[in-house]
Amino acid sequence: MQTGLIQKLSPKLKGAQRRQLRGLAHALKPVVQVGQAGVTENVVQQLEQALFDHELVKVKVVNTCEETLEAVAIALTEGTQSACVQQIGHILLFYKANPDEPKIELIKAKKED
């Protein structure tokens, strides 16, 4: 997946904020899995709940998934109104601030970032 797509899927995040989130996610394990059926309503609901609980969530896309990584990232981003922060291999990283009690405080980005 090209970097430009990640930037399009997280337009409100600046580069420094993406770096911060990637650093926070380093030790996380995937909590949602996209299986052979691809992005289903159940997967979207699971990710929505995980984002509400944790704000930063890794999603694993299994090799047998019939959809491309790009299609999965776009569908999950749109389905949850979240930001796709990173893709490494078959792992996607999503961020969405909890509207009631935010746990992650994003750094203030510089203007030139």
Query: 107 lies in a domain?
Result: no
38-56: string of b/e by CB count within 10 Å (b at 16+)?
A: ebeeebbebbbebbeebbb
Domain-located, residue 59: yes
In a domain, 110, yes or no: no
Q: What is the CATH number of the domain that holds 19?
A: 3.30.110.60
pLDDT higher than 60, residue 112: no
> What pLDDT does residue 109 have?
64
Question: Within a domain: residue 83?
Answer: yes
The number of folded domains in the chain is: 1
Using a pLDDT cut of 90, give the percent of the chain over it: 79
| Residue-wise DSSP of 27-74 | T----EEE-TT-S-HHHHHHHHHHHHHHSEEEEEE-TT-SS-HHHHHH
pLDDT the model gives residue 5: 84
Residue 101 inside a domain? The answer is: no
State mean pLDDT over 16-25: 95
Provide the percentage of residues in the chain whose pLDDT is more than 70: 93
Question: Does residue 105 form part of some domain?
Answer: no
Mean per-residue pLDDT over the chain, rounded:
91
pLDDT tens per residue, range 33-55: 999 999 999 999 999 999 999 99
Region 55-61 average pLDDT: 97
Is 112 inside any structural domain?
no
> Is residue 103 in a domain?
no
Which residue would you say has higher pLDDT here, 4 or 59? 59
SS3 (DSSP) at 92: strand
> 113 pLDDT exceeds 50?
no
Structural domain that includes position 43: 3-95
Give the residue-averaged pLDDT of 67-88: 95
